[in-house]
Amino acid sequence: MLGIIDDPVSIKSVELMIIEEAYRQGWMEPAPPPMRTGKKVAIIGSGPAGLAAADELNKMGHEVTVYERSDRPGGLMMYGVPNMKADKTDIVGRRTSIMEKEGVKFVCGAAGHIGKPGALSAEALLAGHDAVVLATGATVGRDLNNTAGRDLKGVHLAMEFLHGNTKTILDHKAVDSTWRSKSSGADSPPIDVAGKRVVIIGGGDTGNDCIGTSVRHGAKAIANLELLPQPPLQRDQQNTPWPHWPNKQRSDYGHEEAAQLVNGGKDIRTFSVQTKRFIGDAAGNVTGVEIVDLEWTHKDGRMQMKEVPGTVRVLDADYVFLALGFLGPEGPLAEQFGIKTERGNYQAAYGRQKGAFQTSNPKVFAAGDCRRGQSLVVWGIAEGREASRAVHQYIIGQK
């Protein structure tokens, strides 16, 4: 209740302590279902929604196979979230290991990339299963394709940076939350920003993770650009009174680390700026980002921006990471399964009513970010569980 008007009690830490103690005591043991229904369900995607749906459907006694195009199950929690925020072996791996012992099958890599060479087609998947759940996430990143210089070397979507870094850590069993471990003999990740000048465009969780990862690589300089104006340091009681979500400035681990370790104690964020173009050298490498200050005004109930004259300037950069959010799921699966989309997402209703999570193909269901758009891990888990109810009712015919 304290969180209504002030900082909440850290219930998260209490819950983490409880589950960690459960693992230490050996209470988290595999519990296979006592019987099987003979029904088969395929789940495409092993992120929070896919794993939640797989776990529930397996407990119901169905034979569940999870298809994942990456080389390890876990989806967003495996490769989208950096290792220092969620350990892949001690958190993600140990949970999927229990699921495997309970009967869930994981098909990863090329064989798990449905519709691609070496994997099942959508038609074959439908023919061999009683239902299919799409839990592919929202993996299409928002880009700056119309910005001059976008094709320069060194300009990347944030997930290219984060995915490659985490995979290198796991492949080489590095022990210090980065790829640099003398005992591991690890090669450098695909994108190595050690000693480089890094500019991160976007102020959300993904941008913060890029900042934290750059700090651990040993970046020479880090700058974080945000299009929107700087929020107030405390809740604005006039514009966001309780119970609205408070609009106030928040600093995460990446911001704090970069300020102290890279930027002499100063905040690395610059608010109310727009990227005009990327500047490169003769070899096609990015060398800078041209930006301009913005002035924001309220008009007709909407925020409107305009450039501030005389504020155009260039930030030096060896690497630029675009952390601008996600637009939705990739299109091929919608075409292959013949399902409708809505604003880029797989079209399916939400709730517990008949037809919830069911796409225009009655045998295909959708849950998580691919259905609702970019959201939180807890929403993915909730949707996966709810979708499992809908799938069960469809294939068994019972509530």
Q: Do residues 57 and 74 both lie within one domain?
A: yes
Same domain (yes/no): 198, 252: yes
H or E segment and range at residue 131: strand 131-134
| Within a domain: 5 | no
Residues 251 and 334 occupy one common structural domain: no
Same domain for 75 and 90, yes or no, is yes
Q: In terms of domains, do 181 and 297 share one?
A: yes
CA dist list (Å): 241 to 231, 296, 303:
14, 22, 19
Last residue of a domain, one of 306, 324, 342: 324
pLDDT by residue, tens only, the chain of 399 residues: 555 666 667 788 899 899 999 999 999 999 999 999 999 999 999 999 999 999 999 999 999 999 999 999 999 999 999 988 888 888 899 999 999 999 999 999 999 999 999 999 999 999 999 999 999 999 999 999 999 999 999 999 999 999 999 999 898 864 444 445 443 445 678 999 999 999 999 989 999 999 999 999 999 999 999 999 998 888 888 778 888 888 888 899 999 999 999 999 999 999 999 999 999 999 999 999 999 999 999 888 888 999 999 999 999 999 999 999 999 999 899 999 999 999 999 999 998 888 899 999 999 999 999 999 999 999 999 999 999 999 999 999 855
Residue 53 in domain: yes
CATH number at residue 318: 3.50.50.60
C-alpha pair distances (Å), 289 with each of 223, 229, 279, 307: 11, 19, 6, 16
**Residue finishing a domain among 324, 353, 375:** 324
Q: C-alpha distances in angstroms, 188 versus 71, 108, 138, 185, 359?
A: 19, 24, 28, 10, 43
**Per-residue DSSP letters for 255-290?**
HHHHHHHTSTTS--EE-SEEEEEEEE-TTSBEEEEE
Q: Answer yes or no: are the C-beta atoms of 284 and 152 closer than 8 Å.
A: yes
Q: Is position 192 within any domain?
A: yes
Parent domain of 263: 143-324
Within this chain, do residues 124 and 194 fall inside the same structural domain, yes or no? no
DSSP string, 34-67: SS--S-EEEEE--SHHHHHHHHHHHHTT-EEEEE
Residues 6+ apart with CB under 8 A from 335: none
* Residue 186 forms part of a structural domain: yes
Phi, psi for 264 (deg, rounded to 5) = 60, 30
Q: How many domains does the chain have?
A: 2
Shared domain check, 333 and 312:
no
Residue 227 placed within a domain:
yes
Q: Alpha carbon of 116 to those of 119, 332, 386: distances in Å?
A: 6, 10, 29
Are residues 124 and 151 located together in one domain of the fold? no
Based on the fold, state whether residues 158 and 79 are members of the same structural domain: no
Domain's final residue, options 298, 324, 350? 324
How many whole angstroms separate alpha carbon 212 and alpha carbon 359?
39
Instruction: Let me know how long the chain is.
Output: 399
> 179 and 136, same structural domain?
no
Confidence (pLDDT) at 393: 94
6 found inside a domain = no
Contact 140, 148 (CB under 8 A): no
Amino acid at 134: L
283 within domain boundaries:
yes
203 and 278 in a single domain? The answer is yes
State phi, psi for 259 to the nearest 5 degrees: -60, -45
Task: Looking at the structure, tell me whether residues 104 and 169 fall in a common domain.
Answer: no
The confidence score (pLDDT) of residue 10 equals 79
Residue 377 lies in a domain: yes
What was the pLDDT predicted at 6? 65
* CB of 189 closer than 8 Å to CB of 165: yes
Strand 63-68 to 40-44 pairing: parallel
Angle ∠(180,182,186) on CA atoms, nearest 5: 55
